[in-house]
Each structure stands twice: as structure tokens, then as C-alpha cells.
Amino acid sequence: MKFSRLIRSFEKLEKTSSRNAMINVLAELIKEATMKNIDKICYFVLGEIDAGYKNIHLGIGDEMAKSAIALAAGVNKQKVEEEMKEVGDLGEVAYKLVGAKQKGGEDFFTFEDALSVETVHTGLLKIATAVGSGSQEIKKKALAAMLESANPKERRYLARLATGEIRLGVGDMTVLDALAAAFLGSKKNRADLEHAYNICSDIGYVAKVLAKRGLEGVRRIRIALNRPIRPMLAQRVSEMSEIMEKIGSEVVAAEEKYDGERIQAHKEGTKVKLFSRRLTDVTDQFPEVVESVSKHIKAEKAILDGEVVAYDFDKDVFCPFQKLMQRRRKYNVKEYTEKIPVKYMLFDILYINGKSYMRKSYPERRKKLEQIVENEKYIDITRRVTSSELKEIDEFFQDCIQRCLEGMVCKSCADNSYYRAGAREWLWIKWKESYASDLSDTLDLVVVGAYAGKGKRGGTYGALLCAAYNHDEDMFQTVCKLGTGFSDKQLGRLPDKLKDAKRDRPPARVLVTKEMEADYWFAPKYILEVRGSEITESPAHTCNWREGENRGLALRFPRFERWRPGKASDQATSVQEVAGMFLGQKMEK
Ligand code: AMP
């Protein structure tokens, strides 16, 4: 497929924020794809070049991209900097400048349509795999050469792809919808595609299997070692007693809830890989966990789920999340491994010695886990109680709070308590201390907009527009305008912190009422934890929007608590959860 064909779709996608229109544009594009390029097309529309977990990074920062554009255009870097100041987007700069080298600019351009999706992908992959001394120069020259052989519009998107700024606003669920529309003709079996994606985390692979072997092939996709599985998520309730009603089993297992980082470990012999909640490979960050899993899991091959938590070994207590944050680093890993030790608390097993455990019940999985984990300093199994008595569960919860834990996660012990990859259902229900008090409930919300600050807040943002995620519609719907809880320092840093997500118009898949129109817009990327007093109905916010009644749901008196860097935007609090909280409140009253 010609790269210019792909760009025609990019341009259409950029012009719409309607999700249905996006699906149609994508489905048309996918129908024209071949076996050779369907995976690449899927990656490109998401602004990626391969499945996220493969850790294939182009390593092209803005500075290098500017140098490459300068080289391709035959101008000095300063000229590129000036243009950049003017238009604010390297894609536009590449569009304007590079043609200048071929006398007469774009009219004289002779390589029209020379690039294909495949050649662009190969070129970008070459850039990504250049390592070692001299790799910076190789990357720069390779990008410059690609820009030179592209026509102006192609350059615009090449530069954006290369810098990870494709900005189409397409999400993976929208691509799955488009795949269903293109190959299955309807949404009927869309769930099978999503399930396959949840267990393999590679949309290009799902697309390829669908194109080659149809729906049956997709249904046969299995979990595999070294390919992360999208983590199962927990629901929430607003009354502790609801846990017993909702969970679907008489006996409930209440486990300690740790405030750390969700980590999935893949063990193959002595080799271990660790994946974060966002499915990135974080193996290098936790060498002690790697060693522990390698030595103390009594299975040749296994996939385990758990939480890495900072731990104070002198006092024998867990430490707060903020402490663990300091372990997020590329450099000085060894120094920080000693400074901030961690424990890997295991709570699930998904695969063992060639056999999937996803369709086994939680009690069976837990039993297996207990059989294969050898306790030692850095690795342990989550402590828990199992009971059918709310009183006992409550006692366990109180004990967790006493020991400075975040709360508990209750798990269904029913026969069908399978591991539901990527799903937020009632089989797991979280309960934190904050849920228990009327006046405070925390939500993890996505920043989608900001309002200009006035007075003391001049030069920064006065408030942020925050949204919840609607999984069914793959949309972000607003719930509050957040202006309190930030320190002066945090406030001052907001523009810088959100800089790379900034957009010049409302991003696709973000639903905002006229009343809440923001001064600045952001692609849904940054998540923060917000505490509020209650959920109320509101015509200003689009969360759980009721068309006939012209109103959605809003969080009253929101207060910033902390940033949640480990969460992907589709793991934010869901619109369905907010609706559940609202109902819970109504019942209380
Ligand atoms: P939240 O981030 O508030 O939605 O809570 C769910 C998260 O709690 C999970 O994604 C895990 O990272 C974390 N967690 C901590 N302890 C447990 C546990 N025992 N079982 C499941 N998840 C846990």
C-alpha cells in the first residue's frame, strides 16, 4: 500500500472527532490492506511501529528530528528552530521546509508516491534498531533520507510518526471496531477480537490472524510466554456490604491491597521478564525481583501477577507508592535497588509449564500459586482471609489499614471466577479506606483540557478538565473541573508536565459540553487521582450522558491527590464506575 493512501485516511481521521466516522474511515482503509501491511497499518494509526511491549523505540527526540529536517532541507538547524517556533509542530515544519532543497519546492518534487507503508515501516524499524556509538548519526541520516524521498504531505506524517506525535486520537478499541467492521461485517463477534487482544496485547497480530485465518483463527489465539496479558482490573462499591452481594460467591477471599506497581512476571527457565500495568517491559528496573522469580518459583515456565511494593526491611512494613516512584529510572538502578528495596507480592498465576490457568477458578489458581512460590526476602504471596461473614472481612480490612496498607481487594471464589484479562468486573472488588467515608471518594481521571490561570495563577493553568473512560464507547467523558489540591510548585509545573499531550483542538474521543469548553486541550494521556465529596447530576459534564435528560454526572469539590503515572488512559476510573458510585449514594440517602 502506498504511504500516500494511508495519509489520505490520516487526513480524514484528523478532521473528525466522531467515533463512528473514525471507524468507517479505518474500516475502508483496512479493507484495502494486504497480509504484508495490515499489522503495520494498525500500528501506524495508533502512532506506533510495533506492539508496545516489544520495547521498540525509535529514539528520536525533538532535537534529533530538527537536525534531520535541517539536513534533508539543506538549511541550518536554526532555521528549523525558527519555523518550529512559528508553527509548533515538527510535521508542519517538515512539510514546509524539506521541499526547499529540490529547487522550486513541492511542485518539482519527483518522488511522488514513492514511499509505501512497508518501506516506511522498514525505515523506521532500522532507525529503532540502530544502537551503540554512532547510532545517533545513523538515526538522523536515515530519517533525513526518508524525508528527502517523501512528498510534502508524506513528510508531515513521517516526521510525526518518527517523533511519536501522530495525534489522530485513535484508540485500540476503535481499531478493533474497525477490524470487526472490515472483516466480520458487524459488531456481533467483536468481543472475540477484544478477548484475543487482551491476552496477546498486540493489535497488529490480531489483525493479521483475522485477515489470514478469520474469526476462528482469532479464537485460537492463546496466551504465550514473553507476551504480556492485559491485567484483570477491580470494580468498586460504595458500601462494604455490597461486596458480598455483587461478587457472586458465598465465600469471599479478601486480600491485602498494596499501593505499588502492578507487575506481570514471565519466567522461562532462568530467564525472567517483567511487564508493567501499561504492558511495557520493566525488567531492568527490578533486578532483585528478576533474580527472586528466577530462583524461587518452582516451575520451569510460569506467568505470574502481583504488585511490586517498596518495603522497609528494618521496620518490616510496606512503604507508600511515592517511595517506589524513585525506582522508575534508567540510570543508577543498582544504587536505588539498595536505597529503596521492594517486595514482589504475588496474587495470581496465569500460566504454568505450557498450560493456561486463565480458565481456572481463583481458588484453583491460588492453590497452584502457593505450591510454586518459595518464600524469601523479595518475594511473597498476598496475605488474605476467606470468609462468608462480612464481619470477618471488615476485621481483616481494619487490620490492613492499621498496617498502613491501602485497603483490600475481595475476590470471588465461585467456580467461574476465571482470570478475565483486561476486564473490570465484579469478580474482583477493591475497597479502600476512602470509600468508607461519605466525604471522600477517589477517582483516577484523565486530563483532557485546561483553563487559563488568572491572577496568582497567570502563566499557568487555573484548572484542569478531567474525564472518566467509557469502555463501551471507547470515549473520554468529563466529570469535573479541577483547580484545588495542587501546591504552588505543582501548579507552576502543569504546563510543562502536560506539554507533550497538548493539542490545538479537542482531541478525538473526548466528549465535552459547550459549557466546559477549555482554553487548552490535551490528548488523553495523563492520569491523576482526585478526591471529591459526591457525585451529582450535571448538565455541564458528559460522564454517563443521558441524551433525553441532557445531563451527565459530575464530581463535586474535586481535590488533586497525586499523579498516577503507572496507569494508561483506558485504565482510568470508568464511566460505569462513576454511575455505580452515584447509584450507591442515592441508595444511602
Ligand atoms: P486501583 O489501581 O485503585 O484500580 O486498584 C487496582 C490495583 O490494585 C490493581 O491493578 C493492582 O495493581 C493493585 N493491587 C494491590 N493489591 C492487589 C491484590 N491483592 N489483588 C489485585 N490487585 C491488587
Percent of the chain with pLDDT over 90: 72
Nearest CA to ligand 1 atom 1: 234
Residue 514 has what pLDDT?
Answer: 92
Q: What pLDDT digit, counting tens, does each position of 30-72 carry? A: 999 999 999 999 999 999 999 999 988 888 888 999 999 999 9
- The DSSP secondary structure of 95-108, one letter per residue, reads HHHGGGGSTTGGGG
Atom of ligand 1 nearest to the CA of 259: 15
Q: Distance of alpha carbon 37 from its chain centroid, rounded?
A: 25
Helix-helix angle 172-179:190-200, to 10 degrees = 130
Atom of ligand 1 nearest to the CA of 442: 3
- Residue 42 phi/psi, 5-degree rounding, is -60, -45
Query: Quick one: average pLDDT of 492-506?
Result: 91
258 pocket-lining for ligand 1 (C-beta < 6 Å): yes
Cell numbers describing residue 491: 501548579
For residue 106, pLDDT over 50 is answered with no
Q: In terms of domains, do 450 and 415 share one?
A: no
Asked if residue 411 has its Cβ within 6 Å of ligand 1, the reply is no
Whether the CB-CB separation of 540 and 575 falls below 8 Å is answered with no
**Domain-ending residue, one of 137, 163, 189:** 163
Residue 173 lies in a domain: no
Q: Answer whether residue 213 is part of any domain.
A: no
> Torsion-angle region of residue 503: left (phi > 0), alpha (psi -120 to 50) or beta?
beta
Give residue 389's pLDDT band: very low, low, confident or very high (50, 70, 90): very high
Same domain, 401 and 515: no
What is the pLDDT at residue 589? 59
pLDDT of residue 131: 85
Q: What are phi and psi of 178, to 5 degrees?
A: -65, -40
Q: Indicate whether 452 and 332 sit together in one domain.
A: no
- Same domain assignment for residues 263 and 389: yes
Instruction: Look up the pTM and report it.
Output: 0.84
Indicate if 113 and 253 belong to the same structural domain: no
Please give the pLDDT value at position 438. 53
Domain membership flag for residue 38? no
Q: For residue range 267-299, what is the model confidence (pLDDT) as tens digits?
A: 999 999 999 999 999 999 999 999 999 999 999
**From ligand 1's centre to the CA of 422, what distance in Å?**
13
Find cell 462513576 and name the residue. 578
- The overall average pLDDT reported for the chain is 91
Does the pLDDT at position 110 exceed 50? Answer: no
Residue 109's pLDDT band (cuts 50, 70, 90): very low
- Confidence label for 89 from pLDDT (cuts 50, 70 and 90): confident
Confidence of residue 301 (pLDDT cuts 50, 70, 90): very high
Which of these three, 148, 163, 178, is where a domain ends? 163
Residues 449/520, Cβ–Cβ less than 8 Å: yes
Q: Is the pLDDT of residue 372 over 80?
A: yes
Q: Is the pLDDT of residue 96 over 90?
A: no
CA–centroid distance, residue 268 to ligand 1 (Å): 25
Residue 15 lies in a domain: no
- Tens digits of residue pLDDT in 394-434: 999 999 998 889 899 999 999 999 999 999 999 999 998 76
Note the pLDDT of residue 588: 64
Give residue 100's pLDDT.
54
Q: Are residues 350 and 414 in the same domain?
A: yes
Mean pLDDT (whole number) for 132-153: 90
Residue 442: per-residue pLDDT: 87
Cβ(430) – ligand 1 distance below 6 Å? yes
Ligand 1 and 154: CB distance under 6 A: no
| Residue 257 beta carbon below 6 angstroms from any ligand 1 atom | yes
* Percentage of the residues of the chain whose pLDDT score is greater than 70: 95
pLDDT, position 587: 67
Residue nearest to atom 4 of ligand 1 (CA): 234
Residue-wise pLDDT for 431-467, tens only, equals: 987 665 554 568 999 999 999 988 778 888 999 999 9
Compute the distance from residue 349 Cα to the ligand 1 centre, in Å: 15
Would the CB of 463 count as within 6 Å of ligand 1?
Answer: no
**pLDDT at residue 578 is higher than 50:** yes
> Does one domain contain both 314 and 286?
yes
Q: Which of 243, 262, 274, 411 has most ligand 1 atoms within 8 Å of its beta carbon, as the pocket-test mutant?
A: 262
Last residue of a domain, one of 432, 456, 484: 432
From the number of C-beta atoms within 10 Å of its C-beta (0-12, 13-18, 19+), residue 189 rates as: middle
CA–CA distances in Å: residue 301 to residues 343, 347, 350: 21, 17, 11
**Mapping DSSP to helix (H, G, I), strand (E, B) and coil, where does residue 252 land?**
strand
**Ligand 1 pocket, 255 CB below 6 A?**
yes
pLDDT in tens, 509-565: 999 999 999 999 999 999 999 998 889 999 999 999 988 888 999 999 899 999 998
In a domain, 263, yes or no: yes
In a domain, 421, yes or no: yes
- Tell me whether residue 281 is in a domain: yes
pLDDT tens per residue across span 308-360: 999 999 999 999 888 998 898 878 888 888 999 999 999 999 999 999 999 99
Do 246 and 382 share a domain, yes or no?
Answer: yes
CATH number of residue 52's parent domain: 1.10.3260.10
Residue 576 lies in a domain: yes
Say if CB 293 and CB 272 are below 8 A apart: yes
Q: What's the CA-to-centroid distance between 125 and ligand 1, angstroms?
A: 35
The CATH number covering residue 354 comes to: 3.30.470.30
The count of domains in the chain is 3
Same domain, 252 and 367: yes
Question: In the predicted model, what is the mean pLDDT of residues 479-489?
Answer: 93
Banded model confidence at residue 97, pLDDT cuts 50, 70, 90: confident
Whether 405 and 323 share a structural domain: yes
Tens-digit pLDDT profile for residues 220-241: 999 999 999 999 999 988 889 8
Q: Are residues 449 and 342 in the same domain?
A: no
pLDDT of residue 584: 75
Determine the distance separating the centroid of ligand 1 and the alpha carbon of 270, expressed in angstroms: 27
Are residues 138 and 239 part of one domain?
no
Domain that holds residue 414: 233-432
Least confident of 30-34, 240-244, 490-494, 502-506: 502-506
Q: Is 409 in the pocket of ligand 1 (CB under 6 A)?
A: yes
β-pairing, 424-432 vs 233-236, is parallel
Would you give the DSSP letter of residue 231? P
Contact, 54 vs 227, CB < 8 A?
no
What gap in Å lies between CA 533 and CA 571, rounded to an integer? 22
Q: Please give the distance, rounded to the nearest whole angstrom, from the Cα atom of residue 74 to the centre of ligand 1.
A: 53
Q: Which band of pLDDT confidence, cut at 50, 70 and 90, is reported for residue 128?
A: very high
Q: What is the CATH number of the domain that holds 575?
A: 2.40.50.140
Which residues are tagged catalytic? Answer: 257
